[in-house]
A and B are shown apart, each in its own frame.
Chain A
Amino acid sequence: DAGITQSPRHKVTETGTPVTLRCHQTENHRYMYWYRQDPGHGLRLIHYSYGVKDTDKGEVSDGYSVSRSKTEDFLLTLESATSSQTSVYFCAISADADNSPLHFGNGTRLTVT
């Protein structure tokens, strides 16, 4: 299995509070991604990174920011959490742009009350 660790695995937070989710990889892969999974919507890309300090927006980026200061770490921040951000968040990595499959972390279940 690809070495991807997401933390925390579960989190409950209140509306309006900032939240940071962490993804750590040991594969030295260039590309990292944050997805959210919601019933009826499948997986939707939030942000991705194609290198240290190189990031770009995905389909549902509003309300989220990311940072990648090291190859192995990709942080997802909800600046002011809202109930609509209650979801399961998956981090994924891939070795290159389009040929390599994504390998996913085990997910973080976030509940915003």
Chain B
Amino acid sequence: AQKVTQAQTEISVVEKEDVTLDCVYETRDTTYYLFWYKQPPSGELVFLIRRNSFDEQNEISGRYSWNFQKSTSSFNFTITASQVVDSAVYFCALIGYGGSQGNLIFGKGTKLSVKP
């Protein structure tokens, strides 16, 4: 069975702090895809990144970076120099290659609050 665990339910930081959101996954598939989504207070869900299981290179996009480690089944998300606009719920998700679309599994989300 596939599973995504976001152990941090809520995180609160002060602006300009760095913060890491943890995502640990379980899957028996050798090929799979991992995603991060952002849900700001306005409620929409915004796609942030997709990573396939064969690409373990870390990725950086501005203040955002992602650390994918197959050895620990983790796909962690770091925000550097956090800003108030980063306040949101962040979801990690997983799907196995060739799996039914019903197999896209979301974690329960981490609520990040960035205070000025």
Interface residues of A (CB under 8 A from B): 31, 33, 40-45, 48, 50, 56-59, 88, 90, 92, 94, 97-99, 101-104, 106-107
Contacts and interface: CB of A to CB of B under 8 A. Distances in A.
Q: Report the contact-size class of chain B (Cβ under 8 Å from the partner).
A: 20 to 34
B108 interface: yes
Interface of B: 33, 35, 37, 43-47, 50, 52, 91, 95-102, 104, 106-109
Q: Is the interface of B mostly helix, strand, loop or mixed?
A: mixed
B47 A40 contact: no
What's the dominant secondary structure at chain A's contact region?
strand
B101 A42 contact: no
The 3 closest A-B CB pairs, nearest first, are A104-B45, A42-B108, A101-B47
Nearest to A59: B102
A50 to B, nearest CB: 7
17 contacts: A40-B108, A42-B107, A56-B102, A57-B102, A92-B45, A94-B101, A97-B98, A97-B101, A98-B98, A98-B99, A101-B35, A102-B35, A102-B47, A103-B47, A104-B44, A104-B45, A107-B44
B17 to A, nearest CB: 25
